[in-house]
A and B are shown apart, each in its own frame.
Chain A
Amino acid sequence: MPGAEVEATESSVAEATASTIVESGALDDAATQMLARLEAELGDAIVEHGATYGDVVVRVRPDAWRRTATFCKEELGCDYLSFVSAIDWMPTPAIVDEGSGDTSTPAQPKETTYGVAGSGGRFQVFAIVASTRGAHQRVVLKTDLDDAQPHIESWVPVYPGADWHERETWEMFGIVFDGHPALRHLYLPFEFEGHPLRKDYPLLAREVKPWPGLVDVEPMPGEDSDDTDAAAVEAS
């Protein structure tokens, strides 16, 4: 449900282009059909489903993760793997104080809310597969993980490209993929400790030093330092 209702300004020429605004919950025929087939095959393995701007979002139970992939690849014709990654739903910790006027970092809400098709906990693995043929439909698949020891089946026997995606997800989130041939570091050095994309892993650069644009702004020659407030607001 889009919140801010803003309209495009009046244009002096008639609409040359078709509107690209998509309703957030709308699904066209091909997507609706695909959702129906998924529900028929997976039945109660689907915990929740939703739609986001024309894409079907399906959240499945963790034990049906690989079965879903096989079904999408074999039956739905989704032969193309876009990516496999994860979301950590813990709220982003604030690294600037609320009233300090430092707008360099956005203030994220403190409550835990989940996105489209909900979530069962803190960690969620999601993937997008698409079809290179026919109606080129695609589907967003999500699944929930155990918070303490997050692990899920690996997709490598189905989509070999998941190899690198799962390695990256493991090193960034600490999610273990069962059945992956060799879960080792991809981006980070092999002695790296910690999982950076978890929300409790701090972004060190801003802790060590505040945003230089706020503190180090010197007044222009001839101005006095009253104008630094304008500089801070300019940051957004």
Chain B
Amino acid sequence: MTTGTELPPPNLPGGVGQLPEVHLDPQMLRQLAEAQVNVELDTGDMILNLGPQHPATHGTLRLVVRLDGERVIAADPVIGYMHRGYEKLTEYRTYPQITTLINRIDWLSSFANEVPFIAGAEMLMGIEAPPRAQYIRTILTELSRIATFLLFLGEMGLQVGAITPAFYGFRDREYVLNLIEAVTGGRFHPNFNRIGGLKDDLPWGWNSDTRTTMRKVLESCDEFENLVVGNPIFEQRTRSIGIIPADLGAAYGVSGSNIRASGVDWDLRRDGNPHLPYNEIEWKVWTHPDGDSFARYWVRLQETRESARMVLQLIDQMPSGPIMSKVPRIIKVPEGEVWVNTENPLGEMGYYIVSKGATGPFRVKIRSASFSNVSILPWMLRGVYVPDIITILASLYFILGDIDR
């Protein structure tokens, strides 16, 4: 089935030596840093294939880079090794079945993936979850955020070369995963949201366990600050590496901590549609003006601390009551369209649900954060060294399931 248009041959179109140039308007061009490549010796270029199996690419991302010695001339990410066809699947599944599927988009913070979808279905039905369910949803979302970020804080050190922080990150993450498991029964894929509320209430004694764990999280954030952020070699490796200018990042769709590290004060928990009670607690949005890899690490460190503090407040303020609204047994969502987006740990995640009144949606467009975050790589990797590629990949923090859906 052809489209009738002449397209360049795929996967390095034009053969070796020509990568597509993005034609940007002059206003964009003046913001681009030109890659300076020293050509003293007339050496040939080398094409290097990072991945799909590579310790630095967080899964099956493949980066085809053209190198001149150790400098990158051009880079082309090849994705889709993990494409599972979610958007096609959603056309043939009911809402509870889709909830199970979308757990697996960003598998490190699975609970946070379910929330916007369920919120969208609830908006279409015109019901809302009871206050207690909303509080528990918020707490579990923030716990997912802490779990993801602890992993990030550890593994970015690993990508830069320090082996030890990765173990501390995994160890501290276990405490949070134990909490999530105590409530939902699953460490990684809770599948806990239901249209109208949640599946179960909190177990006995969970509040005090969470308070203890949040204090541990705050302590381990201090440990990471001493061990990693305070390390002069880490600073040398990450300062001024991979700078994303704020307006260019926004035009590419970079969201979440990545764009906040470029100084943009935008957080969907505060600025988006209020599905969850974020405006009832005191918290702060962290930004950093630099926009380099160090800034991205620093912003996520502060956000981990902030999330721990938020969870402590939420536990104190949690109302009592039911956790599930009255919904019919077989849920038919009425006709309509809705766009719901939330601040996932990786960035802005959203679902555009088109419903025609059946038990399942007609079309769901899943907007995942890492897809847009990674799309800026061809622009960002020009002129950097090979070790810097690794640093940049680590600092952008994508998950393959999120890119490939």
Question: Which residues does A use to contact B, with CB under 8 Å?
Answer: 1-9, 11-13, 15-22, 24, 52-55, 57, 73, 79-83, 85, 87-88, 92, 95, 103-109, 113, 115-116, 126, 128, 132-133, 136, 140, 149, 156-161, 163-165, 170, 172, 174, 176, 181-190, 193-197, 199, 201, 203, 206, 236
- For A21, the closest partner residue in chain B by CB is B128
Q: Which residues of B contact A57 (CB under 8 A)?
A: 337
Q: Within the assembled complex, what's the spacing in Å between the Cα atoms of A133 and B262?
A: 13
Q: Are B271 and A136 in contact (CB under 8 A)?
A: yes
Q: Within the assembled complex, what's the spacing in Å between the Cα atoms of A111 and B254?
A: 38
Q: With A81-B251, A181-B22 in contact, do A17 and B131 touch (Cβ < 8 Å)?
A: yes
Q: Are A2 and B334 in contact (CB under 8 A)?
A: yes
20 additional contacts, CB 8 Å, given A126-B352, A184-B7? Answer: A6-B325, A8-B326, A21-B123, A53-B339, A95-B92, A106-B92, A106-B359, A128-B367, A132-B246, A158-B251, A161-B372, A161-B376, A181-B23, A182-B20, A184-B10, A187-B80, A187-B83, A188-B83, A197-B87, A236-B96
Fill in one digit per residue for B109-145: 1 if any A CB lies within 8 Å of its CB, else 0: 0000000000100011111111110110000000000
Tell me, rounded to whole Å, the shortest Cβ–Cβ distance linking B245 to chain A: 11
**Residue from A52, A149, A160 whose CB has the most chain B CB atoms within 10 Å:** A160
Tell me, rounded to whole Å, the shortest Cβ–Cβ distance linking B130 to chain A: 6
Q: Which residues of A contact B16 (CB under 8 A)?
A: none
Q: Which residues of A contact B22 (CB under 8 A)?
A: 156, 160, 163, 181
Q: With A181-B20, A188-B83 in contact, do A6 and B127 touch (Cβ < 8 Å)?
A: yes
Tell me, rounded to whole Å, the shortest Cβ–Cβ distance linking A110 to chain B: 10
Q: Which residues of B contact A2 (CB under 8 A)?
A: 124-126, 334, 336
Q: With A9-B322, A187-B404 in contact, do A52 and B338 touch (Cβ < 8 Å)?
A: yes
Q: Are B253 and A161 in contact (CB under 8 A)?
A: yes
Q: Are B379 and A160 in contact (CB under 8 A)?
A: yes
Q: Which residues of B contact A174 (CB under 8 A)?
A: 1, 3
Q: Is the interface of B mostly helix, strand, loop or mixed?
A: loop
- For A178, the closest partner residue in chain B by CB is B5
Contact of A87 among B277, B320, B363, B375 (CB under 8 A): B363
Q: Within the assembled complex, what's the spacing in Å between the Cα atoms of A105 and B327?
A: 20
Fill in one digit per residue for B49-74: 1 if any A CB lies within 8 Å of its CB, else 0: 00000000000000000000000000
- For B275, the closest partner residue in chain A by CB is A20
Tell me, rounded to whole Å, the shortest Cβ–Cβ distance linking A70 to chain B: 9
Question: Which residues does B use to contact A, with CB under 8 Å?
Answer: 1, 3-5, 7-11, 13, 20-25, 28, 79-80, 83, 85, 87-89, 91-94, 96-97, 119, 123-132, 134-135, 246-248, 250-255, 259, 264, 266, 271-275, 277, 280, 317, 319-322, 325-332, 334-339, 341, 348, 350, 352, 354, 356-360, 362-363, 365, 367, 371-372, 375-376, 379, 404
Q: With A12-B321, A82-B348, A160-B248 in contact, do A190 and B335 touch (Cβ < 8 Å)?
A: no
Q: Which residues of A contact B125 (CB under 8 A)?
A: 2, 4, 6
Tell me, rounded to whole Å, the shortest Cβ–Cβ distance linking B17 to chain A: 14
Q: Which residues of B contact A20 (CB under 8 A)?
A: 119, 128, 134, 274-275
**Which 3 pairs from chain A and chain B are nearest by CB?**
A106-B360, A2-B126, A3-B334
Q: Within the assembled complex, what's the spacing in Å between the Cα atoms of A30 and B305?
A: 33
Q: Within the assembled complex, what's the spacing in Å between the Cα atoms of A11 and B127?
A: 14
Q: Which residues of A contact B251 (CB under 8 A)?
A: 73, 79-81, 158-161
What are some 12 contacts across the A-B interface (CB < 8 A)? A4-B332, A12-B320, A17-B319, A20-B275, A80-B251, A83-B253, A108-B356, A109-B358, A140-B339, A157-B25, A159-B251, A183-B7
Q: Are A188 and B356 in contact (CB under 8 A)?
A: no
Q: Which residues of B contact A87 (CB under 8 A)?
A: 354, 363, 365
Q: Are A19 and B130 in contact (CB under 8 A)?
A: no
Q: Are B325 and A196 in contact (CB under 8 A)?
A: no
- For A10, the closest partner residue in chain B by CB is B322
Q: Within the assembled complex, what's the spacing in Å between the Cα atoms of A170 and B247?
A: 26
Q: Within the assembled complex, what's the spacing in Å between the Cα atoms of A5 and B334?
A: 10
- For B332, the closest partner residue in chain A by CB is A4
Q: Within the assembled complex, what's the spacing in Å between the Cα atoms of A4 and B28?
A: 48
Q: Which residues of B contact A195 (CB under 8 A)?
A: 1
Q: Are A184 and B92 in contact (CB under 8 A)?
A: no
Q: Within the assembled complex, what's the spacing in Å between the Cα atoms of A107 and B338?
A: 20
Q: Within the assembled complex, what's the spacing in Å between the Cα atoms of A157 and B28?
A: 9
Q: Within the assembled complex, what's the spacing in Å between the Cα atoms of A164 and B251?
A: 12
Q: Are B91 and A92 in contact (CB under 8 A)?
A: yes
- For B89, the closest partner residue in chain A by CB is A203
Q: Are B379 and A183 in contact (CB under 8 A)?
A: no
Q: Within the assembled complex, what's the spacing in Å between the Cα atoms of A32 and B379?
A: 36
Q: With A132-B264, A136-B266, A190-B10 in contact, do A4 and B334 touch (Cβ < 8 Å)?
A: yes
Q: Are B88 and A196 in contact (CB under 8 A)?
A: yes
Tell me, rounded to whole Å, the shortest Cβ–Cβ distance linking A100 to chain B: 15
Tell me, rounded to whole Å, the shortest Cβ–Cβ distance linking B244 to chain A: 12
Q: Which residues of B contact A17 (CB under 8 A)?
A: 131, 134-135, 277, 280, 319
Q: Within the assembled complex, what's the spacing in Å between the Cα atoms of A6 and B80?
A: 41
- For B356, the closest partner residue in chain A by CB is A109
Q: Which residues of A contact B322 (CB under 8 A)?
A: 9, 11
Q: Within the assembled complex, what's the spacing in Å between the Cα atoms of A52 and B272?
A: 15
Q: Are B365 and A22 in contact (CB under 8 A)?
A: no
- For A95, the closest partner residue in chain B by CB is B92
**Residue from B85, B92, B335 whose CB has the most chain A CB atoms within 10 Å:** B92
- For B20, the closest partner residue in chain A by CB is A182
Tell me, rounded to whole Å, the shortest Cβ–Cβ distance linking A147 to chain B: 14
**Residue from A73, A83, A176 whose CB has the most chain B CB atoms within 10 Å:** A83
